[in-house]
Protein backbone atom coordinates (compact mmCIF):
# COMPACT_ATOMS: atom_id res chain seq x y z
CA UNK A 1 0.00 0.00 0.00
CA UNK A 2 2.81 2.41 0.88
CA UNK A 3 4.68 1.54 -2.32
CA UNK A 4 1.61 2.07 -4.50
CA UNK A 5 0.83 5.36 -2.74
CA UNK A 6 4.44 6.53 -3.13
CA UNK A 7 4.52 5.64 -6.84
CA UNK A 8 1.20 7.42 -7.45
CA UNK A 9 2.30 10.52 -5.50
CA UNK A 10 5.61 10.70 -7.38
CA UNK A 11 3.84 10.28 -10.73
CA UNK A 12 1.35 13.05 -9.96
CA UNK A 13 4.03 15.38 -8.61
CA UNK A 14 6.23 14.74 -11.64
CA UNK A 15 3.38 15.52 -14.03
CA UNK A 16 2.31 18.57 -12.04
CA UNK A 17 5.89 19.80 -11.72
CA UNK A 18 6.56 19.52 -15.44
CA UNK A 19 3.32 21.33 -16.26
CA UNK A 20 3.98 24.06 -13.69
CA UNK A 21 7.57 24.45 -14.92
CA UNK A 22 6.35 24.98 -18.47
CA UNK A 23 3.72 27.51 -17.42
CA UNK A 24 6.07 29.55 -15.22
CA UNK A 25 9.01 29.34 -17.65
CA UNK A 26 6.75 30.50 -20.44
CA UNK A 27 5.48 33.37 -18.29
CA UNK A 28 9.01 34.52 -17.37
CA UNK A 29 10.18 34.27 -20.97
CA UNK A 30 7.12 36.15 -22.21
CA UNK A 31 7.76 38.93 -19.70
CA UNK A 32 11.39 39.09 -20.85
CA UNK A 33 10.27 39.31 -24.49
CA UNK A 34 7.67 41.97 -23.66
CA UNK A 35 10.38 44.18 -22.22
CA UNK A 36 12.44 43.81 -25.38
CA UNK A 37 9.36 44.49 -27.50
CA UNK A 38 8.74 47.66 -25.46
CA UNK A 39 12.26 48.88 -26.28
CA UNK A 40 11.78 47.91 -29.94
CA UNK A 41 8.57 49.94 -30.13
CA UNK A 42 10.30 52.91 -28.52
CA UNK A 43 13.05 52.65 -31.15
CA UNK A 44 10.57 52.72 -34.03
CA UNK A 45 8.72 55.67 -32.52
CA UNK A 46 11.96 57.66 -32.00
CA UNK A 47 13.40 56.85 -35.44
CA UNK A 48 13.56 59.53 -38.22
CA UNK A 49 15.24 59.95 -41.58
CA UNK A 50 18.05 62.54 -41.80
CA UNK A 51 18.70 64.72 -44.93
CA UNK A 52 21.06 62.06 -46.33
CA UNK A 53 18.29 59.41 -46.09
CA UNK A 54 19.89 57.53 -43.17
CA UNK A 55 18.04 56.68 -40.03
CA UNK A 56 18.52 58.60 -36.77
CA UNK A 57 16.85 59.00 -33.36
CA UNK A 58 15.08 62.18 -32.40
CA UNK A 59 15.73 61.31 -28.75
CA UNK A 60 18.15 58.87 -27.10
CA UNK A 61 16.99 55.58 -25.56
CA UNK A 62 17.01 55.77 -21.80
CA UNK A 63 18.78 52.53 -20.79
CA UNK A 64 22.41 53.19 -19.83
CA UNK A 65 23.44 49.69 -20.91
CA UNK A 66 23.06 50.71 -24.56
CA UNK A 67 26.13 52.94 -24.02
CA UNK A 68 28.37 50.37 -22.28
CA UNK A 69 30.41 48.09 -24.61
CA UNK A 70 29.27 44.45 -24.52
CA UNK A 71 26.86 45.20 -21.69
CA UNK A 72 24.48 42.47 -22.84
CA UNK A 73 21.77 44.85 -24.14
CA UNK A 74 22.00 45.96 -27.76
CA UNK A 75 20.02 47.49 -30.62
CA UNK A 76 20.62 47.82 -34.30
CA UNK A 77 18.85 49.35 -37.32
CA UNK A 78 19.77 48.19 -40.82
CA UNK A 79 18.40 48.79 -44.31
CA UNK A 80 19.32 48.24 -47.92
CA UNK A 81 22.22 50.41 -49.19
CA UNK A 82 23.05 51.86 -45.76
CA UNK A 83 25.52 50.80 -43.13
CA UNK A 84 23.90 49.29 -40.01
CA UNK A 85 23.12 51.83 -37.30
CA UNK A 86 24.15 50.06 -34.03
CA UNK A 87 24.09 50.91 -30.35
CA UNK A 88 27.39 51.79 -28.68
CA UNK A 89 27.15 48.68 -26.62
CA UNK A 90 27.79 46.58 -29.75
CA UNK A 91 31.11 48.39 -30.16
CA UNK A 92 32.85 46.69 -33.09
CA UNK A 93 30.30 43.90 -33.52
CA UNK A 94 27.12 43.78 -35.54
CA UNK A 95 23.92 41.75 -35.30
CA UNK A 96 23.32 39.38 -38.17
CA UNK A 97 20.43 40.26 -40.46
CA UNK A 98 18.62 37.65 -42.48
CA UNK A 99 17.06 39.32 -45.50
CA UNK A 100 15.51 36.13 -46.84
CA UNK A 101 12.29 36.86 -44.94
CA UNK A 102 10.28 39.94 -44.00
CA UNK A 103 9.46 40.53 -40.34
CA UNK A 104 6.28 42.55 -40.66
CA UNK A 105 5.26 40.97 -37.36
CA UNK A 106 7.39 40.68 -34.25
CA UNK A 107 10.03 37.96 -34.66
CA UNK A 108 11.65 36.52 -31.54
CA UNK A 109 14.51 34.00 -31.53
CA UNK A 110 17.70 32.98 -29.78
CA UNK A 111 21.11 33.44 -31.35
CA UNK A 112 24.66 32.34 -30.51
CA UNK A 113 26.36 34.77 -32.88
CA UNK A 114 28.39 36.24 -30.00
CA UNK A 115 31.01 33.82 -28.67
CA UNK A 116 30.52 34.64 -24.98
CA UNK A 117 26.81 35.44 -24.90
CA UNK A 118 23.57 33.77 -25.97
CA UNK A 119 21.28 36.51 -27.24
CA UNK A 120 17.54 36.77 -27.16
CA UNK A 121 16.63 38.88 -30.19
CA UNK A 122 13.37 40.60 -31.16
CA UNK A 123 13.09 42.25 -34.58
CA UNK A 124 10.55 43.90 -36.80
CA UNK A 125 10.60 45.54 -40.25
CA UNK A 126 9.11 49.02 -40.66
CA UNK A 127 9.03 51.83 -43.28
CA UNK A 128 9.71 55.28 -41.90
CA UNK A 129 8.01 58.40 -43.29
CA UNK A 130 10.00 59.95 -46.19
CA UNK A 131 12.08 56.80 -46.83
CA UNK A 132 11.45 54.07 -49.42
CA UNK A 133 13.79 51.68 -47.51
CA UNK A 134 12.39 48.80 -45.44
CA UNK A 135 14.28 49.17 -42.18
CA UNK A 136 14.88 46.29 -39.80
CA UNK A 137 14.83 47.19 -36.13
CA UNK A 138 16.51 44.71 -33.76
CA UNK A 139 16.87 44.59 -29.97
CA UNK A 140 19.00 41.87 -28.37
CA UNK A 141 19.75 40.97 -24.77
CA UNK A 142 21.95 38.37 -23.17
CA UNK A 143 19.85 35.38 -21.97
CA UNK A 144 22.01 34.97 -18.85
CA UNK A 145 19.54 36.85 -16.65
CA UNK A 146 16.55 34.97 -18.11
CA UNK A 147 18.28 31.60 -17.73
CA UNK A 148 19.23 32.47 -14.14
CA UNK A 149 15.59 33.24 -13.31
CA UNK A 150 14.45 29.97 -14.91
CA UNK A 151 17.16 28.01 -13.05
CA UNK A 152 16.13 29.60 -9.74
CA UNK A 153 12.51 28.79 -10.48
CA UNK A 154 13.30 25.16 -11.29
CA UNK A 155 15.43 24.71 -8.17
CA UNK A 156 12.58 26.10 -6.10
CA UNK A 157 10.09 23.80 -7.83
CA UNK A 158 12.26 20.72 -7.42
CA UNK A 159 12.92 21.40 -3.74
CA UNK A 160 9.30 22.27 -3.01
CA UNK A 161 7.90 19.26 -4.84
CA UNK A 162 10.50 16.94 -3.33
CA UNK A 163 9.58 18.18 0.15
CA UNK A 164 5.88 17.86 -0.69
CA UNK A 165 6.42 14.34 -2.07
CA UNK A 166 8.33 13.24 1.02
CA UNK A 167 5.64 14.71 3.25
CA UNK A 168 2.84 12.98 1.33
CA UNK A 169 4.66 9.64 1.30
CA UNK A 170 5.33 9.95 5.04
CA UNK A 171 1.67 10.78 5.58
CA UNK A 172 0.60 7.79 3.46
CA UNK A 173 2.98 5.56 5.43
CA UNK A 174 1.65 6.80 8.76
CA UNK A 175 -1.93 6.46 7.55
CA UNK A 176 -1.27 2.91 6.36
CA UNK A 177 0.58 1.99 9.54
CA UNK A 178 -2.06 3.32 11.90
CA UNK A 179 -4.90 2.26 9.59
CA UNK A 180 -3.70 -1.35 9.69
CA UNK A 181 -2.86 -1.24 13.39
CA UNK A 182 -6.22 -2.81 14.38
CA UNK A 183 -5.36 -5.81 12.20
CA UNK A 184 -2.16 -6.26 14.18
CA UNK A 185 -4.27 -6.20 17.34
CA UNK A 186 -6.54 -8.85 15.82
CA UNK A 187 -3.50 -10.96 14.93
CA UNK A 188 -2.16 -10.66 18.48
CA UNK A 189 -5.58 -11.58 19.86
CA UNK A 190 -5.72 -14.67 17.63
CA UNK A 191 -2.26 -15.66 18.83
CA UNK A 192 -3.44 -15.27 22.44
CA UNK A 193 -6.48 -17.42 21.66
CA UNK A 194 -4.23 -20.08 20.13
CA UNK A 195 -2.13 -20.04 23.33
CA UNK A 196 -5.28 -20.34 25.43
CA UNK A 197 -4.90 -16.96 27.12
CA UNK A 198 -8.25 -15.59 25.89
CA UNK A 199 -11.31 -17.10 24.24
CA UNK A 200 -12.64 -14.10 22.27
CA UNK A 201 -11.45 -10.83 20.74
CA UNK A 202 -12.88 -8.48 23.33
CA UNK A 203 -11.02 -5.25 22.49
CA UNK A 204 -13.02 -2.42 20.95
CA UNK A 205 -12.22 -2.07 17.27
CA UNK A 206 -12.86 0.67 14.67
CA UNK A 207 -16.07 0.48 12.69
CA UNK A 208 -14.22 -0.82 9.62
CA UNK A 209 -12.74 -3.80 11.51
CA UNK A 210 -15.54 -4.48 14.01
CA UNK A 211 -17.68 -6.57 11.58
CA UNK A 212 -14.70 -8.84 10.84
CA UNK A 213 -14.03 -9.29 14.56
CA UNK A 214 -17.71 -10.10 15.16
CA UNK A 215 -17.64 -12.69 12.38
CA UNK A 216 -14.42 -14.13 13.84
CA UNK A 217 -16.00 -14.40 17.28
CA UNK A 218 -19.09 -16.01 15.75
CA UNK A 219 -16.89 -18.49 13.89
CA UNK A 220 -15.06 -19.34 17.11
CA UNK A 221 -18.37 -19.78 18.91
CA UNK A 222 -19.63 -21.99 16.10
CA UNK A 223 -16.49 -24.13 16.18
CA UNK A 224 -16.72 -24.41 19.97
CA UNK A 225 -20.35 -25.44 19.64
CA UNK A 226 -19.46 -28.09 17.09
CA UNK A 227 -16.58 -29.33 19.22
CA UNK A 228 -18.88 -29.48 22.25
CA UNK A 229 -21.48 -31.33 20.17
CA UNK A 230 -18.82 -33.80 19.06
CA UNK A 231 -17.63 -34.36 22.62
CA UNK A 232 -21.18 -34.72 23.89
CA UNK A 233 -22.16 -37.16 21.16
CA UNK A 234 -18.98 -39.16 21.65
CA UNK A 235 -19.80 -39.38 25.36
CA UNK A 236 -23.42 -40.26 24.68
CA UNK A 237 -22.42 -42.92 22.18
CA UNK A 238 -19.87 -44.39 24.58
CA UNK A 239 -22.47 -44.44 27.34
CA UNK A 240 -25.09 -45.96 25.05
CA UNK A 241 -22.73 -48.72 23.90
CA UNK A 242 -21.39 -49.48 27.36
CA UNK A 243 -24.54 -51.20 28.63
CA UNK A 244 -25.05 -53.55 25.63
CA UNK A 245 -21.36 -54.42 25.66
CA UNK A 246 -21.54 -55.17 29.37
CA UNK A 247 -24.58 -57.43 28.81
CA UNK A 248 -22.77 -59.28 26.01
CA UNK A 249 -19.60 -59.68 28.06
CA UNK A 250 -21.51 -60.94 31.08
CA UNK A 251 -23.46 -63.44 28.95
CA UNK A 252 -20.28 -64.60 27.25
CA UNK A 253 -18.39 -64.92 30.55
CA UNK A 254 -21.22 -66.89 32.11
CA UNK A 255 -21.59 -69.04 28.99
CA UNK A 256 -25.32 -68.28 29.03
CA UNK A 257 -27.55 -70.54 27.02
CA UNK A 258 -29.20 -67.60 25.25
CA UNK A 259 -25.87 -66.02 24.25
CA UNK A 260 -26.67 -65.89 20.50
CA UNK A 261 -30.03 -64.22 21.10
CA UNK A 262 -28.44 -61.82 23.56
CA UNK A 263 -25.68 -60.84 21.10
CA UNK A 264 -28.19 -60.25 18.30
CA UNK A 265 -30.50 -58.20 20.52
CA UNK A 266 -27.76 -56.03 21.98
CA UNK A 267 -26.07 -55.65 18.58
CA UNK A 268 -29.34 -54.27 17.21
CA UNK A 269 -29.43 -51.82 20.09
CA UNK A 270 -25.85 -50.72 19.41
CA UNK A 271 -26.55 -50.37 15.70
CA UNK A 272 -29.53 -48.11 16.42
CA UNK A 273 -27.37 -45.92 18.62
CA UNK A 274 -24.58 -45.77 16.03
CA UNK A 275 -27.05 -44.86 13.26
CA UNK A 276 -28.59 -42.16 15.41
CA UNK A 277 -25.29 -40.53 16.32
CA UNK A 278 -23.95 -40.80 12.80
CA UNK A 279 -27.01 -38.94 11.51
CA UNK A 280 -26.47 -36.20 14.06
CA UNK A 281 -22.75 -36.02 13.28
CA UNK A 282 -23.42 -35.64 9.54
CA UNK A 283 -25.93 -32.87 10.18
CA UNK A 284 -23.60 -31.00 12.56
CA UNK A 285 -20.76 -31.23 10.07
CA UNK A 286 -22.86 -29.83 7.22
CA UNK A 287 -24.98 -27.20 8.94
CA UNK A 288 -22.08 -24.75 9.18
CA UNK A 289 -22.01 -24.29 5.43
CA UNK A 290 -23.43 -20.92 4.42
CA UNK A 291 -24.36 -22.46 1.05
CA UNK A 292 -26.56 -25.25 2.47
CA UNK A 293 -29.66 -25.20 0.31
CA UNK A 294 -32.23 -27.76 -0.73
CA UNK A 295 -35.33 -27.48 -2.92
CA UNK A 296 -38.36 -28.65 -0.96
CA UNK A 297 -40.52 -30.00 -3.78
CA UNK A 298 -37.93 -32.29 -5.48
CA UNK A 299 -37.06 -33.73 -2.07
CA UNK A 300 -40.75 -34.42 -1.32
CA UNK A 301 -41.23 -36.11 -4.69
CA UNK A 302 -38.14 -38.29 -4.19
CA UNK A 303 -39.27 -39.38 -0.71
CA UNK A 304 -42.84 -39.97 -1.95
CA UNK A 305 -41.57 -42.30 -4.68
CA UNK A 306 -39.29 -44.21 -2.27
CA UNK A 307 -41.98 -44.66 0.42
CA UNK A 308 -44.55 -45.53 -2.26
CA UNK A 309 -42.43 -48.49 -3.33
CA UNK A 310 -42.17 -49.70 0.29
CA UNK A 311 -45.90 -49.25 0.97
CA UNK A 312 -47.70 -49.65 -2.35
CA UNK A 313 -51.11 -49.84 -0.67
CA UNK A 314 -50.72 -46.39 0.96
CA UNK A 315 -51.90 -43.29 -0.87
CA UNK A 316 -49.51 -40.36 -0.46
CA UNK A 317 -50.59 -36.87 -1.60
CA UNK A 318 -48.37 -33.78 -1.52
CA UNK A 319 -49.46 -30.18 -2.01
CA UNK A 320 -47.97 -26.69 -1.90
CA UNK A 321 -45.81 -24.29 -3.95
CA UNK A 322 -42.99 -25.81 -5.97
CA UNK A 323 -40.44 -22.98 -5.56
CA UNK A 324 -39.61 -23.16 -1.85
CA UNK A 325 -36.07 -23.83 -0.62
CA UNK A 326 -34.73 -24.50 2.87
CA UNK A 327 -31.38 -23.73 4.46
CA UNK A 328 -30.63 -27.45 4.90
CA UNK A 329 -28.47 -29.97 3.08
CA UNK A 330 -30.49 -32.10 0.65
CA UNK A 331 -29.39 -35.38 2.26
CA UNK A 332 -30.55 -34.23 5.71
CA UNK A 333 -33.86 -32.94 4.32
CA UNK A 334 -34.47 -36.29 2.58
CA UNK A 335 -33.69 -38.14 5.82
CA UNK A 336 -36.08 -36.02 7.93
CA UNK A 337 -38.94 -36.17 5.41
CA UNK A 338 -38.28 -39.87 4.80
CA UNK A 339 -38.62 -40.67 8.51
CA UNK A 340 -41.82 -38.65 8.88
CA UNK A 341 -43.56 -39.89 5.74
CA UNK A 342 -42.48 -43.49 6.32
CA UNK A 343 -43.85 -43.38 9.89
CA UNK A 344 -47.12 -41.94 8.58
CA UNK A 345 -47.37 -44.69 5.96
CA UNK A 346 -46.38 -47.41 8.44
CA UNK A 347 -48.66 -46.43 11.34
CA UNK A 348 -51.47 -44.71 9.42
CA UNK A 349 -54.62 -46.21 7.99
CA UNK A 350 -53.62 -45.99 4.32
CA UNK A 351 -53.69 -42.26 3.56
CA UNK A 352 -50.89 -39.74 4.00
CA UNK A 353 -51.22 -36.06 3.13
CA UNK A 354 -48.15 -33.80 3.02
CA UNK A 355 -48.48 -30.01 2.79
CA UNK A 356 -45.60 -27.54 2.35
CA UNK A 357 -45.88 -23.76 2.76
CA UNK A 358 -43.83 -20.70 3.73
CA UNK A 359 -44.50 -18.79 6.93
CA UNK A 360 -42.50 -16.10 8.83
CA UNK A 361 -39.07 -17.00 7.49
CA UNK A 362 -39.62 -20.75 7.70
CA UNK A 363 -40.74 -23.51 5.38
CA UNK A 364 -43.34 -25.65 7.10
CA UNK A 365 -43.90 -29.32 6.26
CA UNK A 366 -47.13 -30.86 7.65
CA UNK A 367 -47.34 -34.66 7.44
CA UNK A 368 -50.78 -36.03 8.29
CA UNK A 369 -52.09 -39.61 8.43
CA UNK A 370 -55.40 -41.29 9.13
CA UNK A 371 -54.10 -43.60 11.85
CA UNK A 372 -54.94 -43.78 15.54
CA UNK A 373 -52.72 -40.79 16.39
CA UNK A 374 -50.74 -40.34 19.58
CA UNK A 375 -52.29 -39.28 22.89
CA UNK A 376 -51.24 -35.82 23.95
CA UNK A 377 -49.53 -37.02 27.12
CA UNK A 378 -47.39 -39.43 25.07
CA UNK A 379 -46.25 -36.95 22.43
CA UNK A 380 -43.24 -35.62 24.32
CA UNK A 381 -42.02 -39.15 25.20
CA UNK A 382 -42.17 -40.34 21.60
CA UNK A 383 -39.11 -38.18 20.79
CA UNK A 384 -36.94 -40.17 23.22
CA UNK A 385 -34.42 -42.49 21.64
CA UNK A 386 -35.84 -45.97 21.17
CA UNK A 387 -39.33 -44.96 22.27
CA UNK A 388 -42.07 -46.91 20.37
CA UNK A 389 -45.77 -46.89 21.09
CA UNK A 390 -46.56 -49.64 18.58
CA UNK A 391 -44.19 -52.61 18.98
CA UNK A 392 -46.14 -54.83 16.62
CA UNK A 393 -44.39 -53.33 13.58
CA UNK A 394 -40.66 -53.42 12.86
CA UNK A 395 -38.61 -50.35 13.66
CA UNK A 396 -35.85 -48.90 15.76
CA UNK A 397 -37.73 -46.17 17.58
CA UNK A 398 -35.15 -43.60 16.48
CA UNK A 399 -36.96 -41.95 13.55
CA UNK A 400 -38.58 -39.03 15.37
CA UNK A 401 -35.54 -38.59 17.63
CA UNK A 402 -33.31 -38.24 14.56
CA UNK A 403 -35.76 -35.79 12.95
CA UNK A 404 -35.85 -33.64 16.10
CA UNK A 405 -32.08 -33.63 16.57
CA UNK A 406 -31.29 -32.80 12.93
CA UNK A 407 -34.01 -30.10 12.81
CA UNK A 408 -32.61 -28.45 15.94
CA UNK A 409 -29.11 -28.47 14.46
CA UNK A 410 -30.47 -26.39 11.55
CA UNK A 411 -32.39 -24.16 14.01
CA UNK A 412 -35.70 -25.73 13.09
CA UNK A 413 -38.45 -27.39 15.15
CA UNK A 414 -40.68 -30.43 14.99
CA UNK A 415 -43.95 -30.84 16.89
CA UNK A 416 -46.80 -33.36 17.09
CA UNK A 417 -50.48 -32.42 16.78
CA UNK A 418 -53.78 -33.97 15.87
CA UNK A 419 -54.87 -33.92 12.23
CA UNK A 420 -58.22 -32.19 11.85
CA UNK A 421 -58.78 -33.50 8.32
CA UNK A 422 -57.63 -37.12 8.56
CA UNK A 423 -58.07 -37.66 12.30
CA UNK A 424 -54.65 -39.18 12.86
CA UNK A 425 -51.29 -37.64 13.72
CA UNK A 426 -50.01 -34.35 12.28
CA UNK A 427 -46.26 -33.79 12.42
CA UNK A 428 -45.25 -30.16 11.83
CA UNK A 429 -41.63 -29.72 10.71
CA UNK A 430 -40.36 -26.11 10.43
CA UNK A 431 -36.99 -25.35 8.78
CA UNK A 432 -35.35 -21.98 7.94
CA UNK A 433 -36.21 -20.71 4.47
CA UNK A 434 -33.36 -20.16 2.02
CA UNK A 435 -33.61 -16.74 0.34
Q: What 8-state DSSP symbol labels residue 61?
A: -
Question: With 70 as the cut, is the pLDDT of residue 332 above it?
Answer: yes
Output phi, psi for 206, to 5 deg: -60, 160
Confidence of residue 282 (pLDDT cuts 50, 70, 90): low
Q: Give the model confidence (pLDDT) of 109-163 as tens digits.
A: 999 988 889 999 999 999 998 888 889 999 999 999 999 999 999 999 999 999 9
Question: With 90 as the cut, is the pLDDT of residue 170 above it?
Answer: yes
State residue 135's pLDDT score. Answer: 92
Half-sphere CA count of 63, side-chain side, radius 13 A = 20
Find the length of the chain. 435
Domain 294-432 has CATH 1.10.3720.10: no
Question: With 80 as the cut, is the pLDDT of residue 285 above it?
Answer: no
- How many angstroms separate the CA atoms of 324 and 293, rounded? 10
87 contact partners, CB below 8 Å, separation of at least 6: 61, 66, 67, 73, 74, 75, 76
Q: What 8-state DSSP symbol labels residue 142?
A: E
CB atoms within 10 A of CB 69: 11
Output phi, psi for 378, to 5 deg: -100, -10
Half-sphere CA count of 267, side-chain side, radius 13 A = 6
267 contact partners, CB below 8 Å, separation of at least 6: 244, 248
Question: With 70 as the cut, is the pLDDT of residue 74 above it?
Answer: yes
Closest residue by Cα to residue 64 from 73, 51, 75: 73
DSSP line for 209-236: THHHHHHHHHHHHHHHHHHHHHHHHHHH
Q: How far is CA 368 from the centre of its chain?
A: 50
Mean pLDDT over each residue of the chain, to the nearest integer: 86
Half-sphere CA count of 203, side-chain side, radius 13 A = 15
Half-sphere CA count of 94, side-chain side, radius 13 A = 9
43 contact partners, CB below 8 Å, separation of at least 6: 57, 61, 75, 77, 137, 139
* 391 or 82, higher pLDDT: 82
For range 70-84, the mean pLDDT = 90
Domain 2-150 has CATH 2.60.40: no
Amino acid sequence: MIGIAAAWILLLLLGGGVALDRVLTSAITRNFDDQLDYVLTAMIVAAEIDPQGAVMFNRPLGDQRFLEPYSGLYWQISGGGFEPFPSRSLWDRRLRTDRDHNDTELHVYDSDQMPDQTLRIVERDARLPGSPVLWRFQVAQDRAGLDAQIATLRRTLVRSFALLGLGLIALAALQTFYGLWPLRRVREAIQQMRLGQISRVEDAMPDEVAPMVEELNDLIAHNEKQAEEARRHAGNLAHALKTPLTVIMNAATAAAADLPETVVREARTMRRQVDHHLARARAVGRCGSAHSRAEAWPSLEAVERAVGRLYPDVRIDIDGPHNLSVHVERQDLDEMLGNLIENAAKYGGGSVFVTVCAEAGYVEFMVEDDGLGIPEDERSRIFDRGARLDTSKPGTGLGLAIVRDVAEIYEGTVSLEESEDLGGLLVRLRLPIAN
